[in-house]
């Protein structure tokens, strides 16, 4: 069902990839990408052997001097061309994302649009890689700061956003003068190949070395190679907290740089002053969008006792209207989980909820029968729970929403929200100015993203994306996130005819 799109993206429609002399196909073990939509094999691709990995590094090292010597606005022009190619391929790539990952076609298109948006952002940024000028305390001296490319940026991305998160890193890293090596998720390798093909065409059309952008395909071992490799100047990793801790410790052991965007356990606080219609819409979309497989998915709904019963009733009614099925069908609201392992994690979480004393308001289960042959479709769940439950403290990548009651003030609700290990996204639904400002103050949300009257999921390119605590502390995408991809240097120029020494030291020379 995806053959036309694969052809449009210059990816062979045969099940087994064959060596074409291009390094992204590799010579290692064969990985089979199976769609969670219908359980069918999409394509078989070669994983990267250690020899393949070394060849990729050699090409990246050879290319980095050439690329960093090109003026930043010219590098921005290459990224602009990439964005234009994405516009031309938006429909085909969006459908591939939907089919290989399982998110809705509209979300697939939205993910490609995020790629286009970050390219536009990066093009502008290529003319604004600013430093600072400072006054020196020494006469006839000038001081300033400037930023230089790091060299090689390694990008590790997750299955849930198989193309957009790479583009967030790639577009900024490239305009900053770095070359990039990408390890996409082994669960969505065809999406990685498609993006690399598009960018490789742009580089070839401009007579630029292919080592400016490379991909390697594989699992955790490949990620470990990248994390331990001193030749990679920055490792930007998106995924689970467990994975991030391993990457961070390995990179830190060699005093390297890492940028981490890890797990979330996101909450919406609903106060007595909330618009309940808006609340229901934000909570449902946040909890079931992408089948609960976003790092910004709404996991917890912390509701004041005064409106708890109303919110609970509205949510149960809304969940009764959800349509679960093929994500390429625009009539459906919820698609499949990525694979059977994700389904097993979902089922284990349901058992834990009940064993800890929680109560299922909307029961779960795996859907069977026609249209659900992949056995990856599950029912979205609402559970009444307590914030301290172990399972509530854990991020489960599935459509499970915990309904938690609070009494007292906004400060009490914020304390519950912050009482988890993760700190990515958060929101409060209120029309009370005091509550909104308290939530956004230094005494409020401890998350990297804090919203008022909008849900936890979704982000705009213009703002830096990332979180605190076990979310890793990194920032990707907009604002001044570009600085993470460059090294900072302070320069002092003496244009006098003497050298003043520190602390008044003199020499009789």
pLDDT in the model for residue 440: 98
Q: How confident is the model at residue 17 (pLDDT cuts 50, 70, 90)?
A: very low
Q: In order of start, what are the domains of the chain with their CATH numbers?
A: 58-262+472-489 (3.40.605.10), 266-452 (3.40.309.10)
Q: Calculate mean pLDDT across residues 174-200.
A: 97
pLDDT at residue 21 is higher than 50: no
Helix axes 189-205, 72-88, angle to 10 degrees: 130
| pTM recorded for the entire structure | 0.95
| Measured distance CA(237)–CA(485) in Å, rounded | 13
Catalytic residue among 107, 111, 210, 261: 261
DSSP string, 16-41: B----S-TTS-SS-EEEEE-TTTS-E
Q: Calculate mean pLDDT across residues 151-179.
A: 98
pLDDT in the model for residue 12: 63
| Measured distance CA(285)–CA(146) in Å, rounded | 43
Q: How confident is the model at residue 5 (pLDDT cuts 50, 70, 90)?
A: confident
Residue 207 DSSP SS3? coil
- Cβ atoms 449, 425 nearer than 8 A: yes
pLDDT tens digit sequence for 298-355: 999 999 999 999 999 999 999 999 999 999 999 999 999 999 999 999 999 999 999 9
| Measured distance CA(184)–CA(31) in Å, rounded | 13
- Greatest C-alpha distance within the chain: 93
- Cβ atoms 172, 76 nearer than 8 A: no
Q: Is 137 a catalytic residue?
A: no
Q: Calculate mean pLDDT across residues 261-290.
A: 97
The 3 state secondary structure assigned to 260-281 is EECCCCEEEEECCCCCHHHHHH
Pairing of strands 152-156, 234-238: parallel
To the nearest whole number, what is the mean pLDDT of the chain? 94
Q: How confident is the model at residue 19 (pLDDT cuts 50, 70, 90)?
A: very low
477 versus 13: the higher-pLDDT residue is 477
pLDDT in the model for residue 14: 39
pLDDT tens digit sequence for 36-55: 999 999 999 999 999 999 99
pLDDT in the model for residue 1: 67
Share of residues in the chain with pLDDT > 90 (%): 91
Q: How close are the terminal C-alpha atoms of the chain, in Å?
A: 82
pLDDT tens digit sequence for 63-78: 999 999 999 999 999 9
The first and second tokens of residue 443, run together, are 């005494």
Residue 123 DSSP SS3? helix
| Measured distance CA(12)–CA(455) in Å, rounded | 40
pLDDT at residue 244 is higher than 70: yes
Lowest-confidence segment of 93-97, 214-218, 333-337, 502-506 by average pLDDT: 502-506
pLDDT in the model for residue 25: 52
pLDDT tens digit sequence for 123-147: 999 999 999 999 999 999 999 999 9
Cα dist from 218 to 13, 45, 222, 294, whole Å: 21, 10, 6, 22
pLDDT at residue 181 is higher than 80: yes
| Measured distance CA(324)–CA(104) in Å, rounded | 11
pLDDT tens digit sequence for 443-490: 999 999 999 999 999 889 999 999 999 999 999 999 999 999 999 999
CA-nearest of 263, 296, 286 to 421 is 263
pLDDT in the model for residue 268: 98
Rg (CA), the chain: 25
Residues in CB range of 292: below 8 A, 6 or more apart: 380, 396, 397, 398, 399, 400
């Amino acid at each position: 069902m995806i053959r036309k799109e694969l052809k449009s993206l210059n990816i062979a429609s045969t099940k087994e990839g064959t060596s074409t002399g291009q390094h992204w196909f590799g010579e290692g073990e064969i990985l089979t990408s199976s769609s969670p939509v219908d359980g069918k094999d999409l394509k078989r691709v070669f994983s990267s052997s250690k020899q393949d990995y070394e060849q990729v590094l050699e090409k990246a090292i050879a290319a980095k001097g050439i690329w960093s010597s090109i003026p930043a606005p010219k590098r921005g022009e290459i990224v602009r061309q990439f964005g234009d190619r994405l516009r031309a391929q938006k429909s085909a790539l969006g459908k591939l994302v939907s089919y290989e990952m399982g998110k809705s076609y509209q979300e697939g298109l939205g993910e490609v649009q995020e790629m286009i948006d970050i390219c536009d952002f990066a093009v502008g940024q290529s003319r604004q890689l600013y430093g600072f000028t400072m006054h020196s305390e020494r006469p006839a001296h000038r001081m300033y700061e400037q930023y230089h490319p790091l060299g090689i940026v390694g990008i590790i991305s997750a299955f849930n956003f198989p193309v957009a998160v790479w583009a967030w890193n790639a577009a900024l890293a490239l305009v900053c003068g770095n070359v990039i090596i990408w390890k996409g998720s082994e669960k969505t390798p065809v999406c990685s190949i498609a993006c690399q093909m598009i960018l490789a065409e742009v580089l070839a059309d401009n007579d630029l070395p292919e080592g400016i952008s490379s991909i390697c395909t594989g699992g955790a071992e490949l990620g470990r190679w990248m994390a331990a490799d001193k030749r990679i100047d920055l490792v930007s990793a998106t995924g689970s907290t467990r994975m991030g801790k391993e990457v961070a410790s390995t990179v830190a052991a060699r005093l390297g740089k890492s940028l981490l965007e890890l797990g979330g356990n996101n909450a919406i606080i609903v106060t007595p002053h909330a618009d309940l219609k808006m609340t229901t819409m934000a909570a449902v979309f946040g909890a079931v969008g992408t089948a609960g497989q976003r790092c910004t998915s709404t996991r917890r709904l912390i509701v004041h006792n005064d409106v708890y019963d109303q919110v609970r009733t509205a949510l149960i009614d809304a969940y009764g209207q959800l349509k679960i099925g093929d994500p390429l069908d625009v009539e459906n609201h919820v698609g499949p989980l990525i694979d059977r392992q994700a389904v097993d994690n979902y089922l284990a979480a349901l058992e834990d909820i009940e064993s800890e004393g929680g109560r299922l308001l909307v029961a779960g289960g795996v859907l069977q029968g026609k249209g659900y042959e992949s056995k990856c479709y599950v029912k979205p769940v609402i559970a009444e729970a307590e914030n301290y439950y172990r399972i509530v403290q854990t991020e489960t990548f599935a459509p499970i929403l915990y309904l938690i009651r609070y009494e007292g003030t906004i400060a009490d609700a914020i304390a519950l929200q912050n009482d988890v290990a993760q700190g990515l996204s958060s929101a409060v639904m209120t029309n009370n100015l005091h509550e909104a400002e308290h939530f956004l103050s230094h005494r409020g949300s401890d998350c990297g993203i804090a919203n008022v009257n909008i849900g936890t999921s979704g982000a705009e390119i213009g703002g830096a994306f990332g979180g605190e605590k076990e979310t890793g502390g990194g920032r990707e995408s907009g604002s001044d996130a570009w600085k993470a991809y460059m090294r900072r240097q302070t320069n002092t120029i003496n244009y006098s005819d003497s050298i003043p020494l520190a602390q008044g030291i003199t020499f009789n020379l």
